[in-house]
């Protein structure tokens, strides 16, 4: 790699880390090396230059802080996804729209309870409205009863997160960069039962005819030993085996 200072090459100092040019890529590698050696970044980036370079490129495309991107990009079942808070924050600070607001429908605690996200497009003054997410929809899609889901324990927050993520992908997909939120990935990906369940019944059937061997010396009766007779005809006590 060419270690000649950038300013000595007659190039502008305003270079963004990325893949657009050789200088941008070199700068990305240098920055990635620094971040990878830090213990403050998530473990997925520690001592992992490729992951750090990708995070830097995403941060430059989103005009966001690299450390913020690293802290809010999660890997769920092998797929990357944003935290909902980060996606909402990115939308609110984009400058193109007003901050997200929410409208509620139906009766709280029932299947009709739902939430819709909306915002004002600053360039046109138009009110943009997203899809309405309800508890009934969450149940039909299988999100509500999924193992580990937060829909039962924090339904209001989940309704807001899902309404916001659907709205952003509909009106500002460039901010999400084609990725779903971590909560959406957890709700929509099905794992094969063999990957997370202990197959007890299968083990019982396989081992049902196995021979059981009791190796506990405390419960194993030893052979009876003859008691030697003394010269006077009396039975003597058998010597005690010290066990070694």
pLDDT tens digits, 74-123: 777 667 788 899 999 989 999 999 999 999 999 999 999 999 999 999 99
31 and 119 assigned to the same domain? no
Q: Could you say which of 73, 92, 115 is where a domain stops?
A: 73
The answer to whether residue 67 sits within a structural domain is yes
149 and 45 assigned to the same domain? no
Number of domains in the chain: 2
Is 0.75 surpassed by the pTM of this model?
Answer: no
Average pLDDT across the chain, whole number = 78
Tokens representing 235 are: 């039975």
96 and 152 assigned to the same domain? yes
92 and 162 assigned to the same domain? yes
48 and 106 assigned to the same domain? no
Sequence-distant (6+) residues with CB within 8 A of 106 are 112, 113, 114, 134
Give the lowest-confidence range in 45-59, 62-76, 169-183.
62-76
pLDDT at 191 over 50: no
Helix (H) or strand (E) holding 119: strand 114-120
What is the residue whose two structure tokens read 């992992």? 48
Average pLDDT over residues 195-210: 40
The answer to whether residue 230 sits within a structural domain is no
Nearest of 158, 162, 172 to residue 99 by alpha carbon = 172
Q: Is 184 helix (H, G, I), strand (E, B) or coil?
A: helix
pLDDT in tens, 9-23: 555 456 777 677 888
23 and 89 assigned to the same domain? no
The answer to whether residue 181 sits within a structural domain is yes
48 and 111 assigned to the same domain? no
pLDDT of residue 140: 95
pLDDT at 4 over 90: no
| CA dist., res. 227 & res. 100, Å (int) | 94
Helix (H) or strand (E) holding 239: none
95 and 114 assigned to the same domain? yes
What is the residue whose two structure tokens read 């609110």? 92
Q: Which range of residues forms the domain containing residue 149? A: 77-190
The answer to whether residue 121 sits within a structural domain is yes
Average pLDDT over residues 36-60: 89
Q: Could you say which of 167, 190, 213 is where a domain stops?
A: 190
């Amino acid at each position: 790699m060419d270690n000649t200072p950038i300013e000595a090459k007659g190039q502008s100092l305003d270079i963004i880390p990325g893949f657009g040019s050789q200088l941008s890529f070199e700068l990305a590698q240098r920055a990635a090396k620094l971040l990878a050696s830090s213990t403050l970044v998530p473990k997925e980036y520690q001592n992992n230059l490729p992951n750090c370079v990708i995070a830097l490129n995403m941060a430059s495309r989103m005009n966001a802080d690299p450390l913020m991107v690293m802290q809010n990009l999660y890997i769920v079942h092998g797929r990357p996804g944003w935290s909902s808070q980060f996606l909402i924050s990115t939308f609110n600070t984009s400058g193109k729209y007003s901050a997200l607001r929410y409208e509620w429908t139906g009766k709280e605690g029932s299947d009709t309870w739902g939430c819709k996200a909306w915002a004002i497009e600053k360039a046109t003054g138009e009110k943009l409205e997203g899809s309405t997410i309800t508890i009934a929809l969450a149940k039909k899609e299988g999100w509500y009863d999924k193992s580990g889901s937060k829909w039962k324990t924090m339904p209001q927050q989940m309704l807001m997160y899902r309404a916001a993520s659907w709205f952003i992908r509909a009106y500002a997909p460039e901010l999400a960069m084609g990725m779903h939120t971590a909560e959406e990935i957890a709700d929509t990906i099905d794992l094969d039962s063999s990957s997370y369940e202990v197959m007890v019944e299968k083990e019982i059937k396989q081992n049902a005819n196995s021979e059981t061997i009791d190796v506990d010396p405390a419960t194993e009766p030893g052979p009876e030993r003859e008691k030697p007779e003394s010269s006077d005809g009396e039975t003597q006590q058998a010597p005690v085996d010290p066990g070694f």
